[in-house]
Structure 1
Amino acid sequence: MHRLAARLALALLVALFAVNARAAAEVVMTGDARIHGTYWSKTYFTGWNGAATRTTDPFTVWQRFRLRTDFIANEALKFRLGIRVNNTAWGNGTYTVDNPAVSIDVYQAYLQFYWPGSDVEFSIGQQDVNLPVSGDLFSANPVLGGIRAPMAAVTVPLLDGRLGVTAAYLRFLDSNRDMDPTTTQVPDELDAWMLALPATLPGFTATPWGMLALAGKNAGYAAVGTGGAGANQTLASNLFSAGQALPPAGQREAQTPYFWAGAAFALTALDPVKFYADAVWGEGGAADRGKNRRRGYFVDAAVEYAGFDALTPRLAFWIGSGENGSTRDGSERMPVITSAWGPGNSLLFDCTQEFSRGFLGVDYLGSWGLVATLDDVSFIQDLSSRLSVSFAKGLNSGRALRAGVALWGYGNYFQMGRELAETESVVAVNLDSRYNVYKNLALILETGWAHGAFDSSVWGPRLVNQAKGGDVWKASLGLRYKF
């Protein structure tokens, strides 16, 4: 009987393993590889780095690889793991002859599932983050977008999908992890809570949203680069006022609240004419010292005509409040987390460029401007192009820019060609083309030219004269393989 029972138990285990094997997660892998050479004549308008202390090489070959693996239990449950070898130059780091450095890291790791018997979706872990934006014409929300961050989000559809609620909690920074260095609590976190209410009607969508963040005074913002516009941009320069460096320096409060309120609109009822718009107000440090306060607005709008088969004309406008003449009353530019906003693949902004190091990094805060684009231009099979002409005009007081440089050092908070004074402007043209060699392999050429008119009374003759020595020229040629 014992032998029979053992055999029955073994058979039961084999059956269970067979059932588990059939129910095992489906594994789906996708990714992309990019290899390209990029030529610049005048990086940051000077040919120097963001601190104006080093000369940049005019030509560099870059390579990156990203692999995304989905472990799918069923249509309601999956986990994604994304790893990458990020933008690295040939001859340096990972791609050094005979002695490569390891640079593989995890950039996505999140669980996604629907609550059983409902359409309520949860997404928890390190994932892509983008606050609401009016459409694909703008690459990202002007406050937060185009990045990965640890987030717990829930989306609840209502009224047959015509209304929805999305709520999320994000932790951007926790410098000391789970153990502070002293027996006294240290405010070393940057946390945020977001709420969005997307409403959809025939031919019209509107998404009001808001975000609240608490910035701990010991979170080390200056050491965290954002990967956004220009060199040396950090969370400190994105969130804080220049006046925060005035004595007594730093935040007064242990936790400084920041809030943003905005709305994204898209009108497609008049198709083929379509309209898009975003409006945002943001403020931080309202209860802190006056010099530490930062607040401002940002508005964008765009129109496109989708009635042509061979091209799509688009026109985009933006305006963001600029600095006044005083540093002691804080900053009049809207605080942001990241800056990946931009229309029309414009050379001015870090937006939808296919290749790394492909933008000038002009700050859309404290400026206004226009971008006119002929998109999806295609008269030959498998070949498409995009032509954009951009103009930006500064709204910042030159006095405020000079004061910011004196307090923070050049490039650490304000940088010529990134922040624009009222007396300054930039014009740029970029022509970008893609040829599909195969279905999943594209040969891409991105080219651009830019000219800046800068004020030597703001930045000094050394920087301005260097910019006058020649215009910016850029060319990137390479391959992108998607699978």
Structure 2
Amino acid sequence: MKRFTVPALVAMLLLAAVGSAMAETQVRITGDSRVYGVFFSGHNFTGWNNANWTSNTPTWTKAGTKTEDTFEVWERIRVRTDFIANENLRFRLATKVDNTWGNGTYTAANPDVAIQVYQAFLEFKYPDTNIQVTAGLQPTALPQSALFNDSIVFTDWAAALLVKAPLIADTLELNAGFARLIDSNRTFDPSTTQVGDELDLYILTLPITVPGLKATPWGVFSMAGSKANYYTTWASSFGHASDAEDLLSAGTLIGAPGWKNNQNPYYWVGGAFEVSVLDPVKFYADVINGGGALSDRTKSRRQGWFLDFGAEYTGWDLLIPQVYAWWSTGEDSSNRNGSERMPHTRPNWGPGGSFLFDDSQVFARNGNMGMDPVGAMGLGVALKDISLLPKLSQRVSFTYLKGNNSPRAIRELNTSIGSNPYFAMGRDLTVNEHAMGVNFDSQYMLYENLAARVETGWAHGEFQQSVWGHRLASRANANDTWKVAFGFTYKY
């Protein structure tokens, strides 16, 4: 009975809701399923694990203490149920199961059923207006030009209140919102002294669309509590980075631990631009500046820039060629004066479908290298939507990146506290290091909603032994990374 308890309860609740709502409410069910095997050799360029935080104290395990399994079979099932009262009012409940064969839900005997809710939100238009309000656990993303997939600062499901208000029809829109990303202690703090244990975002964007141009100026204000779980909350689901690496400075780990202030403000301001006035040649660009903890100890401050630019030609039916580049500030030679990298959290940025980054892989689990484009610069080319045969589409890309971080800053932290998760070889590059990757992906439509897909990737990097140590760097320099994934995707 145990193995059926949770699914049975969920099914009963859904059937009861559907039955009672059918008379007045339209119920629409959509979803997707994917199952694939993936061979991945050379995780983190070594085949060994990166260092990982084990508590918010923080404590951590060292890199190179575990070895990879090169083959896994992943399966994901997602079901989205919309309860639609009318065109102006709906509620969505979305659940998923996501794991490998032989683990958790997909264990042969007595599986641990792990059904997760990943969307649960109410959406409505304010009566007699076009102002749309969405409240609950929902997709939340900051602006980024389309060629780069999604935001470098934040893209994820978040518990949020978002409001969209058209100011000029089809031309100007105001989007505003609030999201609570972390609330470590919930209702009561551990003692009678209140501590900052939340991380909140306040969002404002102004998309402007005119013939030949889409421009989106935007800004985000965040209040970050010093006791929030930065070390144990993942900033990237597949790149294995926590909020600590992406938001804090390395200086918070040196000398007096943590922040002096109970709360620290963070900010991001930027613009996303898409220019199609020369269609079929289109241009894309983003300019972002972000910083935080600027009134705290000098060593705890973090502030930097991120810029990207790309172009594509859409005039051919056979394929779409793309070129792209980016640049961001990196760490200078000292951690005592704070961090010069732009803070970010839960990015989903990546041009050309490159498997170097956690971006647009369909087979996302165990499907990319999880490299950080912040603190680096790079360029690449891609051929997208290649259509050589009916029902077959393909994509190939090449990306090269080089670090903008001082070796001394990373070496200083490693010397001070030992092998640690804040800087990771293969994820964070020094000015003397580079990496490159190629991926070739193919999709064949067996039916209208069923596709067979192959994703392949190769990557190589060159790393400094004086920064990461002989054991890790020599193994990474001598070995390449290979990925081959094959499976099926079904959408309904």
Choose which of 232, 235, 249 in structure 1 pairs with 2:243. Answer: 235
Q: Write the distance in 1 (CA, Å) between the matches of 2:419 and 2:444.
A: 41
One-letter amino acid matched to 1:130: A
Answering whether residue 428 of structure 2 is matched by residue 419 of structure 1, we say yes
Tell me, yes or no, if the aligned pair for 2:282 and 2:312 is still in contact at 8 Å. Answer: yes
Q: Write the distance in 1 (CA, Å) between the matches of 2:195 and 2:477.
A: 48
Answering whether residue 313 of structure 2 is matched by residue 305 of structure 1, we say yes
Report how far residue 409 of structure 1 moved.
4.7
1:251 alignment partner in structure 2:
259
Deviation by residue 1:317-338 (Cα, 9 ceiling, x = unmatched): 1111100000000100000021
Report how far residue 182 of structure 1 moved.
2.0
Which SS does the other structure have where 1:344 is aligned?
helix
Tell me, yes or no, if the aligned pair for 1:172 and 1:191 is still in contact at 8 Å. Answer: yes
1:111 alignment partner in structure 2:
122
Answering whether residue 212 of structure 2 is matched by residue 200 of structure 1, we say no
Q: Write the distance in 2 (CA, Å) between the matches of 1:454 and 1:342.
A: 22
Q: Write the distance in 2 (CA, Å) between the matches of 1:447 and 1:203.
A: 36
Choose which of 462, 474, 478 in structure 1 pairs with 2:483. Answer: 474
Report how far residue 180 of structure 1 moved.
2.0
Answering whether residue 191 of structure 2 is matched by residue 179 of structure 1, we say no
1:8 alignment partner in structure 2:
none
Answering whether residue 154 of structure 2 is matched by residue 144 of structure 1, we say yes
Query: Highest CA radius of gyration, 1 or 2?
Result: 1
1:211 alignment partner in structure 2:
220
2:142 alignment partner in structure 1:
131
User: Residues 27-38 of structure 1 correspond to what in structure 2 (within 5 A)?
Assistant: 27-38=27-38
One-letter amino acid matched to 2:42: K
Choose which of 76, 93, 110 in structure 2 pairs with 1:99. Answer: 110
2:345 alignment partner in structure 1:
337
Q: Write the distance in 2 (CA, Å) between the matches of 1:416 and 1:216.
A: 29
Deviation by residue 1:60-115 (Cα, 9 ceiling, x = unmatched): 111111111111000000011110112x1111111111110121111100010001
Tell me, yes or no, if the aligned pair for 1:157 and 1:165 is still in contact at 8 Å. Answer: yes
Tell me, yes or no, if the aligned pair for 1:429 and 1:449 is still in contact at 8 Å. Answer: yes
Choose which of 65, 78, 90 in structure 2 pairs with 1:53. Answer: 65
Q: Write the distance in 1 (CA, Å) between the matches of 2:128 and 2:270.
A: 33
Deviation by residue 1:270-294 (Cα, 9 ceiling, x = unmatched): 1100001011000001100000000
Unaligned runs of 5+ residues in structure 2 are 1-19, 51-62
Q: Write the distance in 2 (CA, Å) between the matches of 1:404 and 1:373.
A: 37
Tell me, yes or no, if the aligned pair for 2:300 and 2:338 is still in contact at 8 Å. Answer: yes
One-letter amino acid matched to 1:208: P
Choose which of 284, 292, 316 in structure 2 pairs with 1:284. Answer: 292
Q: Write the distance in 1 (CA, Å) between the matches of 2:27 and 2:238.
A: 37
Pairs aligned (count): 460
1:82 alignment partner in structure 2:
94
Tell me, yes or no, if the aligned pair for 1:229 and 1:418 is still in contact at 8 Å. Answer: no
CA RMSD of aligned residues (A): 1.3
2:447 alignment partner in structure 1:
438
Which SS does the other structure have where 1:238 is aligned?
helix
Q: Write the distance in 2 (CA, Å) between the matches of 1:257 and 1:408.
A: 27
2:44 alignment partner in structure 1:
44
One-letter amino acid matched to 1:99: N
Structure 1 residues 466 and 252: alpha-carbon distance in aligned structure 2, compared to 1, 3 A threshold: same
Unaligned runs of 5+ residues in structure 1 are 1-19
TM-score (normalised: structure 1) = 0.93
Which SS does the other structure have where 1:222 is aligned?
coil
Structure 1 residues 107 and 406: alpha-carbon distance in aligned structure 2, compared to 1, 3 A threshold: farther
Q: Write the distance in 2 (CA, Å) between the matches of 1:35 and 1:100.
A: 18
User: Residues 326-475 of structure 1 correspond to what in structure 2 (within 5 A)?
Assistant: 326-355=334-363, 356-407=365-416, 409-475=418-484
Choose which of 117, 120, 127 in structure 1 pairs with 2:131. Answer: 120
Which SS does the other structure have where 1:223 is aligned?
coil
Q: Write the distance in 2 (CA, Å) between the matches of 1:28 and 1:22.
A: 11
Report how far residue 228 of structure 1 moved.
4.5
Report how far residue 316 of structure 1 moved.
1.0
Report how far residue 178 of structure 1 moved.
1.5
Q: Write the distance in 2 (CA, Å) between the matches of 1:446 and 1:393.
A: 25
Q: Write the distance in 1 (CA, Å) between the matches of 2:451 and 2:221.
A: 41
